[in-house]
Amino acid sequence: MKAVKARRASGERRSRPPPPMRPEPVAAGRQAPDAEPIPEPGPRLELIDDLDAARPAWDALAATIASPFATWDWADAWWRQWGRPGTLALYACGRADGSRAALLPLCRSGRGPLRALRWVGHGSGDQLGPVCAPADRPLAARALGAALAAEQRGVLLAERLAAEEGWATLLEGIVVRREPNPVLPLGGDWEAYLATRSANFRQAVRRRERRLARAHALRYRLADDPRRLADDLDVLLALHAARFGSRSSVLGARTHAFHHDLAARALAGGWLRLWLLELDGRPAAAWYGFRCGGREWYYQAGWDPAYARHAVGFVLLCHTVRAAMHDGMTEYRFLRGGEAFKERFGPRDDGLVTMGVAHGRLGRTGLLAARKVLCAPPHSPIGRVARRLAGRAGWMGAT
C-alpha cells in the first residue's frame, strides 16, 4: 500500500501490459501457419456378425472395383468351404456422416505368435484387399490398423494387394512378398495386335491353329448352359490336374466344391467365362476365368498331355485373347505369376504386394515367421518345412 501511495503522490502511473495480439484471420478450410496439425478423425469401425448382413453394402462397394475377387459371391463361396465358427472379423468402416466407406473382409487365423488377421478368400483369390472405392483407400488403410489393434492379433497379413493401388505406402507395415501380375491392354482388333508382335509369335499363333483345324474338327465352346455347367467345370478340373499333377492348385474335395459353387453364381450373374477347346468332339483344353468391369480375368487352365505337341493350351489362350478384343474388353488380366508364356503376349506388370503389419512384440515375431514362410519357394525343401510348421500353428489354411 505504501508503494501505491508513493506513486500516486509523485504522479507516477503504473505501466500496464500490452493487450494480447489478435491472430490474423485464416481463410476457411486453411490452417494457421504455426498451428498444431489437426489430426484426422479416426475410422469408425463396426463389427458385422455374418456375411449375409453385409451383402447390400458389399454389392454397392464392390461395383466400384469391378473385380471378381471383391464380390460378395466370391467371399461367401470361400467361407462355406474354409470359414470356421468364431473366426470371421468382418468390419465396416464408416465416414463421419454415418455412411459406409469400406468393408474389411478379414478372418482370424493361427495360434501363438502366428495369430493373424487375413483376408476372407486368401489362398484362392489372386487379387485381394478392402472393398472400397479408390478415393476411400487411405481411410480403409487406417481402418485396417484400427481393426488389428481391436482384435489384439499379432499380425495383419494383407495378401495379394494390387501394387498400383498404393497399399505399400498407405499401410504402416513392411512388404513381405512381391509377385508379378501381368496385364495386357486391349484395343483395336486381333490382326492389328499381332502386327505389333514378333514374326515368330505371329507365325506360331496362326500355324498352330491351322494345323489343329486341318488334323481335327476344331471347336471352341463357351460354357453357357446351366444344365451342362457342372460337367464342363469337371472337365476343366480334370485337365488342370492332368497337366500339373500333384502341383495342381485345384485338387481336393473342398476346392472342387468351392469352384462348382462359384462358377454357378458367376454364370447366373453373367461374369463366368469357361472355354473348352474340343477336337473331334472331345475336350483337349479348358480355360476358366471371369469378365468384370470391361476386363477379362484369366484364372486357371488345363490341357490334355496327349496333345502337348499340338500346343492346345496356347491355341486356346490365343482364342480367349482374341474373343476379349472382339467383345471390346479394355484389358486382359493374366493374374498372379510371371510365367514365360504370359510374357510372350507383351503385357505390362502391375504387380502384387503382400503387406505385413505387426501389433506388439509377438506380432513382430510372427511377422518375421510369415516372411520366411511366404518368401520360401513353395516346392523347395525349406518351403515345405516352413509351410508344414505354419500349418501346425493353424495359420496356412486354404493357401
Residues 217 and 311 in one domain: yes
Q: Is 335 left (phi over 0), alpha (psi -120 to 50) or beta?
A: left
Domain CATH code at residue 274: 3.40.630.30
Going by C-beta distance under 8 Å and a sequence separation of 6 or more, which residues neighbour residue 84?
Answer: none
**Assigned domain for 48 exists:** yes
Residues 325 and 255 in one domain: yes
**Assigned domain for 27 exists:** no
Residues 284 and 357 in one domain: no
**Assigned domain for 363 exists:** yes
Predicted confidence at residue 378, as pLDDT, reads 60
Q: What's phi and psi for 94, nearest 5 deg?
A: -100, 155
Residues 160 and 293 in one domain: no
- Closest by Cα among 109, 73, 76, 47 to 398: 109
**Assigned domain for 39 exists:** no
DSSP at 173: S
**Assigned domain for 326 exists:** yes
Residues 334 and 375 in one domain: no
| Measured distance CA(88)–CA(118) in Å, rounded | 10
Kindly state the cell numbers that stand for 59: 454389392
| Measured distance CA(44)–CA(93) in Å, rounded | 5
Q: Which domain, by its residues, includes 378?
A: 44-179+352-392
Residues 336 and 264 in one domain: yes
pLDDT averaged per 10 residues, the chain (length 399): 47 45 38 48 86 96 96 98 96 90 94 80 95 96 94 88 95 91 94 96 97 97 98 96 79 92 98 98 98 97 95 98 97 95 95 88 65 64 59 49
Residues 345 and 356 in one domain: no
Burial 137-151 (b: 16+ CB within 10 A, else e): bebbbbbbbbbbeeb
Predicted confidence at residue 373, as pLDDT, reads 66
pLDDT digits (tens, 9 = 90+) for 135-181: 999 999 999 999 999 998 788 999 999 999 999 999 988 898 999 99
**Assigned domain for 146 exists:** yes
Q: What's phi and psi for 376, nearest 5 deg?
A: -75, 135
pLDDT digits (tens, 9 = 90+) for 270-328: 999 999 999 999 999 999 999 999 999 999 999 999 999 999 999 999 999 999 999 99
**Assigned domain for 302 exists:** yes
Residues 98 and 155 in one domain: yes
pLDDT digits (tens, 9 = 90+) for 6-16: 444 444 444 44
Residues 172 and 192 in one domain: no
Residues 286 and 373 in one domain: no
**Assigned domain for 4 exists:** no
| Measured distance CA(89)–CA(274) in Å, rounded | 33
Domain count, the chain: 2
Q: What's phi and psi for 60, nearest 5 deg?
A: -65, -45
pTM score, whole prediction: 0.83
Final residue of a domain: which of 349, 364, 384?
Answer: 349
Residues 242 and 274 in one domain: yes
Residues 231 and 256 in one domain: yes
- Closest by Cα among 171, 39, 48 to 100: 48
